[in-house]
Structure 1
Amino acid sequence: MSPHPPIPARVVLLCGPSGSGKSLLAARSGLPVLRLDDFYKEGTDPTLPLVEGGSDIDWDHPLSWDADAAVTAITELCRTGRTTVPVYDLSLSARTGEESLRTDGAPLYIAEGVFAAELVVRCRELGVLADALCLTRGSVTTFRRRFLRDLKEGRKSVAFLLRRGWRLMRAERSIVARQTALGAHACDKDEALDRLADAAAGPRAEAATAA
């Protein structure tokens, strides 16, 4: 007998380095999408971590993000098909409101963000996990895509974006290694789309444990 009662929907956690194409892939899938970046802490939060040896806030550290609130939203979507999520402005480092999100009866949805892998174990234990994917494209491609996107959207100053981009490019292998160690499967966009199609066709038993 399953330890968890049947639920209306399950979640695919989609992580990967910043700029790896998570949002584009999620949109291309046609599935409902929960943006985990909306659960960043506000810039005035005293618990925000700093980059080691510097004064910049380390927005790529899991402690810059509210994991508990993200898990609450994920489980509400899975069990009730709807939840309320914050609207976060990255350029302001602040929440500017909230909005309602619904799955509209879809049996599967995507929760995407750089910290999605941090939730693999908790979502599996709660019985809501369908799969966990880590999207990779190579550090140079990711650096270029990330910088152009963040510059276009005015997320932070150019100097900050260059410092962050260089730091993340050097750290990309370790970022992917951490996310896969947490239970996400590293793949390119084509394999990710194939696994999403498989997950949509039926529940994956212990999917995120597959190498």
Structure 2
Amino acid sequence: MTHPNRRPTPVLLLSGPSGSGKSSLAARTGLPVLRLDDFYKEGDDPTLPLVPGSDDIDWDAPGSWDADAAVAAVLSLYGTGRTEVPVYDIATSSRTGTAALDAGAAPVFVAEGIFAAEIVARCRELGVLADALCLCGRPSTTFRRRLARDLREGRKSLPFLLRRGLRLMREERGIVARQAAQGAHPCGRAEALDRIEAAIAAARARNAAIPEPATPAVRKGTPGRTAV
């Protein structure tokens, strides 16, 4: 629900394969960013899916992620401009606390993560969507970028990261096709920035067309007494 004295803040969903550059692009926009990876389930959750034919948890399957909690955070930011989000440690596969996220006076906010396309339809139906993008590029480049990041941040063991990385490189074009089918527009970095600028301009124009909330009239009365 939107606060009566506040203009809504729609969401720009930024999806794409792991390592495609979503986080760096989101940071470059200067907009508030909701990190959808913080809505991963914890490592002891019995509903976590496994990679077929192995004992590895499939952290790239939507079943490893809490879509309902992510949508609730999007709705809160849209209507009130703020929300509480979990702080997730990928290295330990656990939530370590919560943090407040405030959209301030931003015309839109970015929600980025590999599962962003999973909630495009729901956000569109709820009327909170500014745009949905799928950032994509060369699978070999994505593989190198993802591996360097994951090693630098100590996310998982090297054998796990290599197995995951090679599997994702083989599956990357299919991942992009799936996210496109879910409603996220596939594009490179330059086109993504252009569409983000267009979404910001559209939101500002829409906000300018919304009348300012009426200020209740103050009736004068005798000092010390209530006017009736």
- Per the shorter chain, which TM-score range? over 0.9
What is the TM-score with the length of structure 1 in the denominator? Answer: 0.93
Q: Secondary structure at the match of 1:95?
A: strand
- After superposing on structure 2, the runs of 4+ consecutive aligned residues of structure 1 that deviate more than 4 Å are none
Aligned residue in 2 for 1:142: 142
The reply on whether 1:102 has 2:102 as its aligned counterpart is yes
Aligned residue in 2 for 1:27: 27
Tell me if the contact between 2:108 and 2:203 (Cα under 8 Å) persists in the aligned partners: no
Q: Secondary structure at the match of 2:186?
A: strand
Distance in 2 separating the partners of 1:138 and 1:67? 28
Tell me if the contact between 1:26 and 1:112 (Cα under 8 Å) persists in the aligned partners: yes
Which one has a bigger Cα radius of gyration? 2
Structure 2: segments with no counterpart, 5+ residues: 205-228
Distance in 1 separating the partners of 2:85 and 2:7? 20
Aligned residue in 1 for 2:122: 122
Q: Secondary structure at the match of 2:133?
A: strand
What is the TM-score with the length of structure 2 in the denominator? Answer: 0.86
Structure 1: segments with no counterpart, 5+ residues: 205-211
Distance in 2 separating the partners of 1:203 and 1:125? 18
Aligned residue in 2 for 1:77: 77
Tell me if the contact between 1:90 and 1:155 (Cα under 8 Å) persists in the aligned partners: yes
Distance in 2 separating the partners of 1:25 and 1:106? 17
The reply on whether 1:13 has 2:1 as its aligned counterpart is no
- Return the offset for 1:7: 4.7
Paired AA for residue 157 in structure 1: S
Distance in 1 separating the partners of 2:94 and 2:81? 26
- Return the offset for 1:93: 0.2
Q: Secondary structure at the match of 2:25?
A: helix
Aligned residue in 2 for 1:194: 194
Tell me if the contact between 2:17 and 2:135 (Cα under 8 Å) persists in the aligned partners: yes
Aligned residue in 1 for 2:67: 67
Aligned residue in 1 for 2:210: none
Q: Secondary structure at the match of 2:172?
A: helix
